Amino acid sequence: MKKILAFVLAIAMIASVAALSACSKKDDTKKTEETKADTNVDIAKGETAAVETQALEFEDDGVLTMATNAYFPPYEFYDGDTIVGIDAEIGKAIADKLGMEFKIEDIEFDAIITGVQSGKFDMGMAGMTVTEERLQSVDFSDSYATGIQSIIVPEGSPIKSIDDILKPGASYKVGVQLATTGDIYISDDLGDEATSRVEEYQTGNDAVAALSAGKVDAVIIDNEPAKSYVAATSGLVILDTEYVTEDYAICFAKGNPLKDKVNTALNELIKDGTVKTIIDKYISAK
């Protein structure tokens, strides 16, 4: 209601001023040139601030639009010009269940939540973890997969576990994908040192490339993408120890009734084995 009242008052003020003179516009400054996210996102630490959001009425136009960041194999990645992967296939299966067409939009990861909040996208699905910070801004479906935050280092690295990175006096630099839980966890654990020791990149690809080039000492990223990156890049290994275990889910605008429809379809797909079949297709059981 506060947002609606503010909006009405703003329109009234603009109309009054327009009667006397041409109105002027003031451009909002973007936090970074790369991101399309608005200032509800604290891109420095990847935490989404609590915002007042009005419940959106879901308008069924027959198309289910999913926002993702397609550089997170095997959950979403490009095969030629087509986005494929676990999330892409589960999203398509959900759309089929709902009798809807399916559309994927590839955007920056840190713009997904704000895009969903605004109603530009119906849902966000990008190996996204449910966190307390994100729950302040969006709703989530039930979990459909479990992820593990892993640490990639060069072969022969003195870093053997997260403890080596966090121990007092350590100065190792850590690469992360901007606004991911890997970014959030390591930034929180390092505290004041995060500013000088955490390097944020727009994609996991960029973070791993920086590690390979010696610009950072380690990369923290989800385990399945980590395996894909290490397989494609010589001289890198994944530490045996896990950093954090987490659950993946689909995000929606607060109060959007679409969440319940998608959740029902998702749970049917989990129950009949479709989700497991899709995950097994991309992730070896070995």
User: 152 and 240, same structural domain?
Assistant: yes
**pLDDT for 61:** 81
Structure tokens at 121: 């996208």
**pLDDT for 37:** 38
Tell me if 31 is assigned to some domain: no
**pLDDT for 150:** 97
Q: How far apart are CA 261 and CA 258, in angstroms?
A: 5
User: 136 and 220, same structural domain?
Assistant: no
User: 115 and 239, same structural domain?
Assistant: no
Q: How far apart are CA 266 and CA 260, in angstroms?
A: 10
Q: How far apart are CA 152 and CA 231, in angstroms?
A: 12
Per-residue pLDDT band for 252 (boundaries 50, 70, 90) equals very high
User: 262 and 231, same structural domain?
Assistant: no
Per-residue pLDDT band for 159 (boundaries 50, 70, 90) equals very high
Tell me if 133 is assigned to some domain: yes
**pLDDT for 59:** 57
- Which amino acid is it at 51? V
User: 276 and 140, same structural domain?
Assistant: yes
**pLDDT, tens digit, 9 for 90 and up, residues 163-221:** 999 999 999 999 999 999 999 999 999 999 999 999 999 999 999 999 999 999 999 99
pTM: 0.73
- Mean pLDDT within 95-102: 97
* Number of structural domains the chain divides into: 2
User: 222 and 267, same structural domain?
Assistant: no
**pLDDT, tens digit, 9 for 90 and up, residues 101-138:** 999 999 999 999 999 999 999 999 999 999 999 999 99
User: 159 and 125, same structural domain?
Assistant: no
User: 198 and 254, same structural domain?
Assistant: no
Per-residue pLDDT band for 284 (boundaries 50, 70, 90) equals confident
* Residue predicted with more confidence, 120 or 7: 120
Tell me if 22 is assigned to some domain: no
- Mean pLDDT within 97-103: 97
Q: Following CA atoms 138, 142, 145, 149 in sequence, which dihedral angle do they give, to the nearest 10 degrees?
A: 40
Tell me if 15 is assigned to some domain: no
Tell me if 221 is assigned to some domain: yes
Tell me if 48 is assigned to some domain: no
User: 253 and 241, same structural domain?
Assistant: no
Cβ-contact 73, 224 below 8 angstroms = yes
Which alpha helices (H) appear in 28-121, and where do they start and end?
A: 86-98, 112-117
Beta carbons within 8 Å of 125's beta carbon, 6+ residues apart:
66, 67, 68, 76, 87, 90, 91, 250, 251
User: 237 and 166, same structural domain?
Assistant: yes
Residue 125: count of CB within 10 angstroms of its CB: 27
Q: What CATH number is associated with residue 237?
A: 3.40.190.10
**pLDDT for 115:** 98
* Residue predicted with more confidence, 60 or 257: 257
The domain containing residue 63 runs over which residues? 53-144+249-282
**pLDDT, tens digit, 9 for 90 and up, residues 17-70:** 334 343 433 344 333 444 433 333 333 333 333 333 343 445 568 999 999 999
- Which amino acid is it at 15? A
- Which amino acid is it at 199? E
Look at residue 143 and give its three-state secondary structure: coil
Tell me if 23 is assigned to some domain: no
244-248 and 145-154 beta bridge pairing: antiparallel
Tell me if 8 is assigned to some domain: no
